[in-house]
Amino acid sequence: MNDVAYPGSGDIPTGHQARSGALLDETLESMKTSAIVVDHDGLIVAANSAAQRLLGRGVEELIGQDFHDLLHRDSHGHAMPRTRCEMRKAVLTGDTMHGDAAWFACGDGSLVELSWLVTPYAPVPGVWGGLTLLYELKQQQAHPSDVGYSARLTELDRLALLAETTTQLTSTLDVDEALHRLAALTVPRLADWAVLDLLTEHGEVRRVLVMEHKDGILVERDDLQGPMPPVPEESPMPLSRALRGAASSLAGPAIYQGPPDSGIAVEQQRLFTETGMHSAVIAPIRGLRDVLGALTLGRSQRQDAFTPADLPLLEDLTRRTGLALDNARLYQRQRKVAETMQRHLLPQLPTLPGLEMTARYLPAPDASAVGGDWYDAFALAAHAHALVIGDVVGHDLDAAAGMAQIRNMLRAFAWSHPQAAPSDVVTQLDEAVMHVAEVPMATMILARLTLGEDTLWRLRWTNAGHPPPLLITHDGQAHYLNEAHGLLLGTGVTRPRPDAVTTLPPRATLLLYTDGLVESPKHSIDHGLNRLRRHAAALAHRPLDSFCDSLLDQVRPNDNDDDVAMIALRTPPPT
């Protein structure tokens, strides 16, 4: 009987508990590395005999104890604050993390410095905790003959690198960011240089990243990046083969010393000459369907060369990279299509004599590729125009389609009754939303803009649950038009909708916007409205385009993943 401890080891387990305990027993004891399993609260539920020997602690000292409180120490032997414990953080968040060195308390009171890896683990099916692997640091003694040589990765180092690669690459949907993360994971851990060549959707090759480890930092070599010649169909050269999807291979400058067989070979000659790489490994980056590119890792500073034993790790890295790039490209492709659709749904603004008018649409940065925010402006009759700002509930293509339905119906209702009050048009629209449109709810402002005989512009509007318009005078006074506020569309509640009228002063700016400009998960809506009012007042003297761009830059919360639509107009100076 071995020394693995499991929950309830003082009693005889029965049924499912016995089978789970036996499986945990067998799994941990088969690992030569010291292994400790904790539950989600960080309590030790199992430890193999290697861990017990390494820490000098028996079963009774480990089971049921808090791993962090019992074992983790700083270099002086003091308890490590929980807020600084990366291992505890990994267990709580379900992430995989690795540490090069940490101090742990042994049973005799001494300290031992160990490397560690924490990864999610289910000690009991359906109950997640963490598996902690502890292993001794390999002390490298300085020796003149060792200069320029890199220590071989242990199996645990390889596991940690692959786990970290998966975590880093799957946590971003930006291709460029993913490639930079890959370079930082491999340089200088595996090589002095990382080179990434990608195939475009048109089959063209582009050297998108060349990263060097120099003087202790990573340096991007822009001079070695850029477009590459096409992939030759029959070339036996390593990069050409990798870009066609062939297996990974070793490469060195000698391969490219002869007459080049293609333009890519010429570029590879230049790469080896400029970087001084004496040894490299090149592997294809494969997606689910196609070859996406190739990764080259090269050594110039260290003297040891890559060997065939390094190829399986490289292929594991590129396999994970391919999946991550596939996901990122699919996301960006869908996002581009959705944004293009959204922008085509937004109208060209009419020209109004004497009035300046501009609009902006800014898509959501992260969580959604398209939303239901929109603006509109169109002529109703001589010297009368409609202004609209609206937001359909939701952040997907359904919201965008719903926005298009509402916008088209609103235009039809407004055109068919050019003299009707905005409240009457929105009431009719609300009825249609309830019975015709496939829209859950929406907010909007419909305003009617007319030029009076006194040459002043007047605004008549109704507000259906939308953030209020903001009026800014030329001298920097700003206030919200809070009148005419009614229920949003789609509630099913029938109530009279109010109208309000105001005269716009000369050289004044009127701003209609959606809530993405002012809402933040960290602050109240009042905080966002006050922030917008203050910044708008300070920017009142700016040209209208600069006014809008500055508002988007200064006011939109960084933590808001909503899209933003806004339309602004400025009245002419007095005659």
- Residue bearing tokens 């990573």: 218
pLDDT digits (tens, 9 = 90+) for 314-352: 999 999 999 888 888 877 776 666 666 656 666 778 888
- Residue bearing tokens 């099913």: 492
Classified as helix, coil or strand, 117 is strand
Which of 449, 450, 434, 433 has the alpha carbon at shortest distance from 512? 449
Give, in order, the Cα–Cα distances in Å from 285 to each of 307, 455, 553. Answer: 20, 66, 38
Cβ count within 10 A of residue 482: 10
List domains and CATH numbers for the chain. Answer: 15-142 (3.30.450.20), 155-333 (3.30.450.40), 346-570 (3.60.40.10)
Classified as helix, coil or strand, 161 is helix
Can you list the alpha helix ranges (DSSP code H) found in 30-58? Answer: 49-55
pLDDT for res 147: 44
Q: Is the pTM of this model over 0.75?
A: no
Of all residues in the chain, the percent with pLDDT exceeding 90 is 46
pLDDT digits (tens, 9 = 90+) for 97-118: 888 788 999 998 888 988 888 8
**Average confidence score pLDDT of the chain:** 84
pLDDT over 50 (residue 140): no
